[in-house]
């Protein structure tokens, strides 16, 4: 396995004794979690403004958040990481978007293995806290208000990045959602992969551990009783119109979510 934070291509948070009362009050506490999260955000923001927030710093900060989430008592179940690197060429990762967690944690899983960036909303790049960090990652920026402009931004920006060997993560849903609705899952990522002649890696996520905040979405409630699932599917090429391939991704996500629904720790 290429150098990364994990010893194998799958990972399950080790079973530990239950947190004692003091640990529960400290770690499994929304205010404490938000405070620790804010500390890392402010530190990375400073690094980004200083021009020293590179791929390694991005991956390190992501892994720090990963480990802190585990300290709250949450358990990760990650599988299919071999599919991140099974294709020598850059790929397009296409998955469902459930919470802030995947945006924070995925860099620590993917970036140590291959160069990557995200398709992100313009509001995130302009955010006073997260804007500098996201801008430093050379993302593809979409407005989510004009589908035609978003299509052009993803096609043009994606082609340039993929040609440089940089993979792209795209969440086709217009916004985060606990419920997966196939009708909201557009084929933009598949079209990019087809145009660039690269493979697609489907990505299924169950990250409702981290809810959306009412005022600041990224500062929502946490629920350590909800296990966290991340699954990378096998890469595949896009042929024809891409309709069948987009349905293949939808089926992969729905099947994974169905399996996880009945999962018992």
Residue 128 has pLDDT above 90, yes or no: no
Whether residue 116 contacts residue 130, with contact meaning beta carbons closer than 8 Å, is answered with: no
Give residue 21's pLDDT: 47
Give residue 2's pLDDT: 59
C-alpha to C-alpha distances, 71 to 40, 50, 131, 211, 265, nearest whole angstrom: 15, 30, 27, 17, 17
* Gyration radius of the chain over CA positions: 18
Residue-wise pLDDT for 1-46, tens only, equals 556 899 999 999 998 755 554 555 455 566 788 888 889 999 999 9
Confidence of residue 224 (pLDDT cuts 50, 70, 90): confident
Whether residue 62 contacts residue 108, with contact meaning beta carbons closer than 8 Å, is answered with: yes
58's tokens: 């991005």
**DSSP letters for 189-225:** HHHHHHHHT-EEEEEEEE-TTBPPPSSSGGG--B-TT
Residue-wise pLDDT for 238-261, tens only, equals 998 899 999 999 999 999 999 998
Closest to 109 (Cα-Cα) out of 256, 234, 233, 5: 5
Give residue 263's pLDDT: 80
Stated as kind and residue range, the H or E segment containing 11 is strand 11-12
| Number of Cβ within a 10 Å radius of residue 240 | 8
Whether residue 200 contacts residue 244, with contact meaning beta carbons closer than 8 Å, is answered with: no
Residue-wise pLDDT for 114-126, tens only, equals 999 999 999 889 9
Beta strand 199-206 with 91-95 is parallel
Domains and CATH numbers, the chain: 11-261 (3.40.1130)
Q: Report the percentage of the chain scoring pLDDT > 90.
A: 71
Residue that is written with structure tokens 């993560």 in the block: 169
Rounded mean pLDDT of 97-109?
95
Residue 81 has pLDDT above 80, yes or no: yes
d(CA 193, CA 242): 9
Strands, sheet with 167-170, edge to edge from the N-terminal-most edge strand: 11-12, 76-79, 228-232, 199-206, 91-95, 167-170, 116-121, 140-142
Beta strand 91-95 with 11-12 is unpaired
Could you tell me which residues come within 8 angstroms of residue 222 by beta carbon, excluding any fewer than 6 positions away?
28, 30, 33, 72, 74, 209, 210, 211
Look at 130 and 59; give whichever has higher pLDDT. Answer: 59
Residue 236 has pLDDT above 90, yes or no: yes
d(CA 176, CA 181): 11
List alpha helices for the chain, DSSP H.
21-27, 30-49, 55-71, 82-85, 100-110, 122-125, 131-136, 147-163, 188-196, 243-261
C-alpha to C-alpha distances, 178 to 49, 175, 206, 208, nearest whole angstrom: 33, 10, 8, 6
Give residue 175's pLDDT: 83
Beta strand 167-170 with 116-121 is parallel
Residue 213 has pLDDT above 90, yes or no: no
């Amino acid at each position: 396995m290429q150098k990364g934070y994990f010893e194998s291509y799958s990972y399950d948070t080790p079973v530990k004794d239950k947190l004692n009362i003091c640990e529960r009050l400290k770690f499994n506490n929304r205010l404490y979690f938000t405070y620790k999260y804010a500390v890392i955000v402010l530190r990375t923001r400073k690094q980004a403004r200083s021009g020293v927030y590179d791929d390694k710093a991005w991956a390190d900060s992501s892994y720090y958040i990963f480990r802190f989430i585990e300290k709250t008592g949450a358990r990760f179940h990650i599988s299919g990481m071999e599919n991140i690197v099974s294709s020598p060429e850059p790929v397009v990762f296409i998955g469902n978007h459930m919470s802030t967690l995947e945006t924070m944690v995925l860099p620590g899983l993917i970036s140590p293995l291959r160069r990557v960036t995200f398709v992100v909303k313009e509001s995130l790049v302009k955010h006073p806290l997260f804007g500098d960090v996201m801008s430093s990652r050379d993302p593809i920026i979409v407005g989510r208000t004009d589908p035609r402009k978003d299509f052009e931004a993803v096609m043009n920006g994606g082609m340039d990045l993929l040609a440089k060997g940089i993979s792209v993560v795209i969440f086709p849903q217009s916004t985060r959602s606990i419920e997966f609705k196939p009708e909201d899952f557009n084929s933009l990522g598949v079209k990019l992969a087809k145009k660039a002649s690269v493979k697609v890696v489907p990505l299924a996520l169950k990250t409702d551990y981290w809810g959306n905040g009412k005022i600041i979405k990224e500062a929502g409630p946490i629920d350590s009783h909800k296990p966290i699932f991340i699954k990378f599917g096998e890469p595949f090429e896009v042929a024809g119109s891409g309709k069948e391939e987009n349905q293949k991704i939808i089926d992969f996500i729905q099947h994974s979510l169905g399996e996880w629904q009945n999962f018992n720790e």
